[in-house]
Every structure is written in C-alpha cells, then in structure tokens.
Amino acid sequence: MSAAPQPGRLIWDPASGAGRLSVEGDWTLAGFEALRREAGRFPAGAQVRAVDLSKLGALDTAGAALLVDLLGAERLPALIAAGPALDESRRALLATIIQAQAAVQAAQPPARPSPAAELLGRIGWAAEVFWKHGVGLCGFIGLTLETLLRSLFRPRSWRVTATIAQIEQIGLNAVPIVALLTFLVGAVVAFLGATVLRDFGATLYTINLVGFAFLREFAVLLTAILMAGRTASAFTAQIGSMKANEEIDAIRALGLDPINMLVLPRVLAMLVSLPALTFMSMLTGIAGGMVVCAWSLDIPPSLFLSTLRESLDVRHFYVGMVKAPVLAFVIAVIGCLEGFKVSGSAQSVGEHTTSSVVQAIFMVILIDALAALFFMEMGW
C-alpha cells in the first residue's frame, strides 16, 4: 500500500538567522492550489542561504516550477548545492525547469520603445544605411575608373561590340520616349509662360523662358531622370539575373574580369548616349515651345529662332551639356552596383532594381541642384 500524500510545506524560521529554508511534503499538481497559497505566505525579501530538501516527498513538473519561481532560477542551483544532497532525478527535473524558463524569457519580445526612441532609432538606421551606400558607391566608382584606365592600354580587352549594342539599347531605343516627353514639357513651359507673361504684356519673353530652361536645366534633367528609370533598372536587372544564375561566378572562374566585361560597356555606352539624348532634348523641347508660341502667341518660327539666337548666349548650352557626362556616369555605376548586390533570389532582384532607380533619380536631382547653384554663383 502506498503512503498517503503529505501536503507540501515551507519551514522558515527568520529568528534563527541561519537563512535555511526547509521544503517538506509532496509538491505535485494534485495539491497545486494549496502549494501556491503556501508559497504566497513566504516573505518576499527573505535572505535564503540554503535549502533543505531532505524531507521533500513527491515532486512533479508543476511543483518544481513553483519552487523555481519561489527561489529564483539564478539562485536555486547554488542553494541546492549548499543544502543536503538531492537525488539526481529531482536535480535533473529542477534543471530542466530552469532551462525551460530561461528559454521562454529569451524568446519573449523586447519591450516596445517609446515613440521618440523609435523615431531616433529609425533616423540613425537610415543615416547608417545612407553612409554605407555612399561608401560602397565611392568604392565602386574607384574600381570602375581603375579598370577603365588599365583597359586603355590593352586594346585587346576593349568590348567594342558590347558597347555598340548597349548604345543601341540605351540611346537609339530611347529616342522616341525622350523626344516625346521633352516636346510636351517644352509646350507646357511655353504655355505657362505665355499665360503668366500676357498679364504684363511681355509674351515675347516666353521665347527666353523656354530657351533658358531647356538649355540649362530641363533637357539634361528630364533626360537623366528618364535614363535613371529606364536604363539603371535595366542594368540592375541584367546583372542581378546573371548574379542569381551564378554566371558572374563562372566569369570569374574563367579568369575574366566582370567589371571589364559587364560594367565598362554599359558605362561607356551611357557616356555616349546621355549627352546625345540631352542635345536632342534641347532641340525637341525648344521645338515644343516654338509650336505653342506659333499657335497661341502668333509668333512665327523665324521670329522665334532669331530672338532665341540673339537673347541667349552659347554658354547656357555648355552649362547644360557639361552636366550630361557626370550624370551618365553616376546613373550607370549605380545601376551596375545594385546588380552586383543581388543575393540570388527573384525577390532580391526586384528589391535592388527598385533601389537602383530611387538612388539614381536622387543622385541626378542632387547633382543637378548643386551644379545649378555652382554655375549661378560663378555667373556662368
């Protein structure tokens, strides 16, 4: 016949000063409510130096968890070691409960920070990402320029066919959309200028407005933004797909340079295509303004062109054209760099394609704004 269950008890004598706690009776699920009340009567700030488990009866998971909560998972192993010896099965049960509670506490989500701390954290994270992108872009620009300089003295490494093919894809195929967009924008600028200047009786200055805007800013800016959205994304998708298919690793395994094979043809093609498209954008934008002036202001094309030639200096044309190679180089480098960052999945290709477009457009607008301020301050 089995012995009758003994209710669990805690024996604590604070007057003795020994700091020893005795645990007696059965600590099982059957008497869990009574055990919890018994544990609740134990003083919270008691200084326990050792635990006596020699009179401990039956022990299961529920009782062991209650003892661990009562004495603390950090202190319980040391308290048991300071008291009388405990059999291995019960010691293993208590150790298992301690490990399980530690795992649960580690898995709990951290406390949500305050809105101010979260905002500062997001700002810091964004600044760190921006800094890393800037450092990576500068490093890739240096690598591209180094490869370009080394290839100048090795004509056999020139990728003439690939460069011409990229010029066709980047430049010739983009002529219709660039011409149409700049023509419409030129018409809109002329229409707005005529609407505003009509109140002052100065509609003839619409010619100056259209010419000045397109020669200095609009032609190169609109063309660069279009190329950033159209070409930078194509560069990233092409190189990213090659990276995902391990074709770039195969190129390196053959002893070839991916920068020389993939980046330089695209960069050189962009350096040729964007200035040419910018020049075409200047012509089509001015043509759009000329059509609106002829239709809305009764200014014939001959008067439009003669006024444009007399009122605008050729330096405005140079200011617009000198920015085109810089923007072309930046757009091509960003598109290629984001392609090399692809990790290997289709999702990564899409993410870096989006990132290349955003970065390229941002850099185009930033460089154009800084150049405009510089040229204005220099009086050019």
**26, β-bridge pairs:** 7
What mean pLDDT, rounded, does the chain reach? 82
pLDDT digit string, tens, across residues 143-201: 889 888 888 888 887 888 888 998 998 888 999 999 999 999 999 998 888 888 787 77
pLDDT at 79: 57
Determine the Cα–Cα distance for residues 114 and 127; give it in Å rounded to an integer: 20
pLDDT at 109: 67
One-letter amino acid at 253 equals A
Tokens 């020669």 belong to residue: 215
Predicted confidence band of residue 1 (pLDDT cuts 50, 70, 90): very low
pLDDT at 326: 93
Domain segments of the chain as ranges: 9-107, 125-378
Q: Using an 8 Å Cβ cutoff, are 242 and 292 in contact?
A: no
In this structure, what are the phi and psi dihedrals at residue 31, rounded to the nearest 5 degrees? -110, 35
pLDDT digit string, tens, across residues 185-240: 999 998 888 888 787 777 788 888 888 889 888 899 999 999 998 899 899 988 88
pLDDT at 268: 92
Number of neighbours of residue 180 by Cβ within 10 angstroms: 12
Overall average pLDDT of the 336-361 stretch: 86
pLDDT at 73: 64
Contact residues for 26 (Cβ-Cβ < 8 A; gap 6+): 5, 6, 7, 8, 57, 58, 59, 63
Q: Which CATH topology does 9-107 take?
A: Transcription Regulator spoIIAA (3.30.750)
pLDDT at 65: 76
Determine the Cα–Cα distance for residues 289 and 183; give it in Å rounded to an integer: 8
Determine the Cα–Cα distance for residues 366 and 85; give it in Å rounded to an integer: 74
Determine the Cα–Cα distance for residues 61 and 67; give it in Å rounded to an integer: 10
User: What's this model's pTM, rounded to 2 decimal places?
Assistant: 0.68
More confident residue, 219 or 83: 219
Whether 4 has a pLDDT exceeding 70, the answer reads no
Determine the Cα–Cα distance for residues 279 and 372; give it in Å rounded to an integer: 18
Whether 45 has a pLDDT exceeding 70, the answer reads no
